[in-house]
Structure 1
Amino acid sequence: MRCVIVEVRKKQIISNVICTESTMTVEVEKASFSGLHEDHLRLNDATNIACRLQSNRTHVFAVIPLSGCGTEIEEDDDNLRFKNEITTFDNVADTITRKHLLEVQFYCQYPKRGNVTLGFTAHRRNVTVWDRGFGTFTYQFEFYPNNQYQTMVDPNSYPLVYTLGNRIYMQIEATSSIDNTVLFVESCRATPYDNKNYKQTYSIIENGCNVDSTVKTHSSAHKRQFRFSMEAFKFIGLHDQVYISCTVLMCEAGSPNTRFSQGCINSTMTNVWTPNHHRRRREVVAQSSRHFVSQGPLRLKRSAESNESSALHLNLNLVFIAGCLLAAVGMISAVAMYKAKVSKVKYQPLPTFEN
């Protein structure tokens, strides 16, 4: 009798996966699966010609869209995971196999929410988010010097300084990998600190409606831009800075069942928008989740500062005028004293002597 220990294990497949905003690129070394012909390898969806694997001398590879080629989506509270696999097949039309000679599973994982920043800075960086059915969005919230919206305010100039009552021009723009989408700004609020949950807030836009009486919307270059302005203000008290934050979401253009199509909803109609469970399930692909973007700080000049500046100029003028008056009085006094001294001099005729 002899005991023979046989170790059975899967062969190591050498592969590489590259994740981008809208695609996965998978590369597998041919040498790592010798004995199998590349023509008998497929992705999850083998019926789409655009999803066929390609090859060169050393690798089998494919560029796979996140929303195609049989890619499956898994999610948890923090991440979205896009999964696909390369397997063997005999017939493209087969849906099952009993000769599973090769299985290369791969995926790309993305955080649902991420703030693109490496450290503290006054100017808020762009915010990138992922959403099921919509891919990736990059939200940019910027300030502009006027209503032409040609060149945004230099980020290095933050915090921005405004005089009370001057108009502040803002733009929120979404860059999306998915076409046929529109941006909807549901709400915007101002806080004296960079904390959206701070108890002291001022509503600018609520439920898609302009709340602040000075808010104006301006024409945009496309439907993923939102341009608006308002008059500068400050919080009562010792708060000289203002942060502006907005809740935004992306919607499928032309769909009747999205928040964008509802537009402004006042408080009395809030219950009309509240969807039931089945409606929410239908709208999952028609609109994204709500996302949060912010920008600031803005430093508002207090009226006291302007008054102090005016008072300073006024005081300087008064000092100058007073100095001039004193100089004039001094000159007049000197002239008067001189004339008084001259008037006291008595002239007498000199005696004459005759020989």
Structure 2
Amino acid sequence: MPPGNGIITINFQNISLEYQSTCAYDSISVYDGPTPSSPLLAKMCGDQYNRVVKSTRNDVTVVFATDSSGTKSGFHAEYSYVVTYPPCGGNLDVSGSFSSPYYPNYYHDNAYCEWRLSAPSGQRVLLIFSDLELQGCCSCDYIAVYDGPSVGYNQLGRLCHNSSLDTFHSSSNHMTVLFRSDSSVGRRGFRAEFISSLSASKGHVECSLDNMTITISRSFLSSEGFTGDDLYVNDLYCRPTQNSYEVVFRFPKNHCGTTRKIQNGWEIYNNEVRTYPNNSADITYLPQFYLSVACHMQKDSISQIMYVAHDRLKFNVTGSGHYNTTMAFYNSGFYQQIYDDPYYVSLNEYMYVQVSLGNPDSRLVLFLDTCMASPDPQDNSNHHSHYLLANGCPRDSTFYSYTSGSQYYARFRFRAFMFLRTYPSVYLQCKVLVCPANDYNSRCRQGCRTREARDLDPQLAMTTVVLGPISLRG
């Protein structure tokens, strides 16, 4: 049977059997399941017309029985099967998670699901997509996110098969998420989490490859009964700075008592901000301010979540950021960077390229997924591009990789090609992945893979770096 819960309808249009009050002679029995031991839906005999029997599940069993005497013309029946899909969408409050129908199995055709998310008054909604795999057609299957309580509000974004995992913030305490699929080709779908978040004017957190910055409004602290002088992080020696409006903690995210762990492909950094304990008393009745800060870093993207617990009140503050990756030309030994702009080369001359994290980090590795040359830095279409590398597999005979997927940088070389005779200058574009160094099952460790990019692990997210222009000498 097709996926989904189905109902089987049987229309016995004409029944002509030997009659007995208990249908003990000749009979038709219909069972609500795959065997005659399933619940009995109906037992029929005698003369009947247009008798309709409906199942409650995907399977039904029909048994026709006769005795040793007395025959009549029998029966004729027609049946139909109608799929009833599980309910999707609905109203969700404060925080939680939701996913496409049947996730992580394939979603059904012609899905239409609306989730209306709401946060407490004065707060806003943060939406985080943790998994995404849709049909390879953006007008067929897609997710749309709206900044309000219905699809009539402004659209914050639209996700389809080639979208990176992303985060969305509402401007009010309402957000609507719409998922639609067409009549063909399902995929695994998506999973998303949402939380209630303080407005940015009260507090926010920013994370980069190196630093964690926690900013709290002094007026918000004052309304809760605290000042910046009352606060500290896990390391008492890491003190905040203050101005007339804000209290700011800024420190390297590997310092000040920050802890780090790997979970479901994410690097998670945690710290806390709280009020100083009262060491002069064993018991205190004063309210305590507690701020838990978490930076969730996945491949080339970062999401941050922190919440404040004050007595029984909870607040969330969120932010986002990205890894910083760079690409540059080098000499043949990778000892010296070449800063020429444009970079003039001769045909068949070797060019040496390094792609690296903005700041070295031995706990991360960088993998080259795809590299191409294009006359336009914004154009990566097949018609105008020359591929050096695709899905980690060399596509140009002169391409050679020195390292990829084992260091926080990747190095390769290739020869200047005839492409430069057609266009006055070209740009080099590379899609790269960043993975934890100790995750030996990550895409970064798998090397060449012939499957298309959309078949990669859905938790992977890519970033594109561009280098150029490259021009032909003379």
TM-score (norm 1): 0.51
Query: Pick from 356, 366, 378: which aligns with 1:183?
Result: 366
Structure 2 gap segments, 5+ residues each: 1-121, 123-200, 254-267, 272-291
Task: Identify, as 1 or 2, the structure richer in strand.
Answer: 2
Aligned equivalents of 1:244, 1:272: Cα separation in 2: 19
Corresponding residue number in structure 1 for 2:356:
173
Aligned equivalents of 1:28, 1:249: Cα separation in 2: 36
How far is 1:232 from its partner?
A: 1.0
Corresponding residue number in structure 1 for 2:324:
138
Corresponding residue number in structure 2 for 1:248:
432
How far is 1:263 from its partner?
A: 0.9
Percent sequence identity is: 19
Corresponding residue number in structure 2 for 1:290:
462
Q: Secondary structure at the match of 2:380?
A: coil
How far is 1:109 from its partner?
A: 4.1
Q: Deviations over 1:118-167 (max 9, x none)?
A: xxxxxxxxxxxx2xxxxxx21111112x212222112xx31211111111
Corresponding residue number in structure 2 for 1:152:
337
Corresponding residue number in structure 1 for 2:412:
228
Aligned equivalents of 2:269, 2:393: Cα separation in 1: 34
1:208 has 2:362 as partner: no
Gap change, CA 1:252 and 1:25, over 3 Å in 2: same
Instruction: Confirm or deny: 8 A CA contact 1:51 1:62 kept in the other structure.
Output: no
How far is 1:51 from its partner?
A: 9.3
1:24 has 2:213 as partner: yes
Letter in 1 for 2:363: N
Structural mapping, 1:45-56, within 5 Å: 49-50=234-235
Letter in 2 for 1:26: T
Instruction: Confirm or deny: 8 A CA contact 1:42 1:88 kept in the other structure.
Output: no
Q: Secondary structure at the match of 1:212?
A: coil
Structural mapping, 1:1-355, within 5 Å: 19=206, 21=208, 22-27=211-216, 29=218, 33=222, 36=225, 49-50=234-235, 62=249, 67-69=269-271, 70-71=292-293, 82-89=304-311, 97=312, 100=313, 106-110=317-321, 130=322, 137-144=323-330, 146-154=331-339, 157-175=340-358, 180-194=363-377, 195-197=379-381, 199-218=383-402, 223-235=407-419, 238-265=422-449, 267=450, 270=451, 274=455, 280=458, 284=459, 288-301=460-473
Letter in 2 for 1:300: L
Letter in 2 for 1:71: V
Q: Deviations over 1:187-226 (max 9, x none)?
A: 1111233311261322211221222222223369x81111
Aligned equivalents of 1:161, 1:260: Cα separation in 2: 32
Gap change, CA 1:219 and 1:16, over 3 Å in 2: closer
Q: Secondary structure at the match of 1:251?
A: strand
Instruction: Confirm or deny: 8 A CA contact 2:202 2:220 kept in the other structure.
Output: no
Name which of structure 1's ranges 161-170 and 22-31 shifts more when overlaid on structure 2: 22-31
Letter in 2 for 1:141: M
How far is 1:251 from its partner?
A: 1.1
How far is 1:26 from its partner?
A: 3.0
Aligned equivalents of 1:246, 1:80: Cα separation in 2: 20
Q: Secondary structure at the match of 2:445?
A: helix
Gap change, CA 1:203 and 1:42, over 3 Å in 2: same
Q: Secondary structure at the match of 2:352?
A: strand
Aligned equivalents of 1:215, 1:139: Cα separation in 2: 21
How far is 1:247 from its partner?
A: 1.1
Q: Secondary structure at the match of 2:333?
A: coil
Instruction: Confirm or deny: 8 A CA contact 2:420 2:426 kept in the other structure.
Output: no
Letter in 2 for 1:189: M
Instruction: Confirm or deny: 8 A CA contact 1:73 1:81 kept in the other structure.
Output: yes
Instruction: Confirm or deny: 8 A CA contact 2:295 2:304 kept in the other structure.
Output: yes
Instruction: Confirm or deny: 8 A CA contact 1:234 1:241 kept in the other structure.
Output: no
Aligned equivalents of 2:296, 2:303: Cα separation in 1: 5
Aligned equivalents of 1:57, 1:191: Cα separation in 2: 48
TM-score (norm 2): 0.40
Structure 1 gap segments, 5+ residues each: 1-8, 90-96, 111-129, 131-136, 306-355
Corresponding residue number in structure 2 for 1:124:
none
Q: Secondary structure at the match of 2:444?
A: helix
* Residues paired across the two proteins, number: 230
How far is 1:296 from its partner?
A: 1.3
Q: Which has the higher contact order (CA 8 A, sep 6+)?
A: 1
Letter in 2 for 1:217: S
Q: Secondary structure at the match of 1:193?
A: coil
Aligned equivalents of 2:344, 2:241: Cα separation in 1: 59
Q: Secondary structure at the match of 2:336?
A: coil
Name which of structure 1's ranges 51-60 and 247-256 shifts more when overlaid on structure 2: 51-60
Aligned equivalents of 1:254, 1:244: Cα separation in 2: 30
Q: Secondary structure at the match of 2:344?
A: strand
Instruction: Confirm or deny: 8 A CA contact 1:242 1:300 kept in the other structure.
Output: no
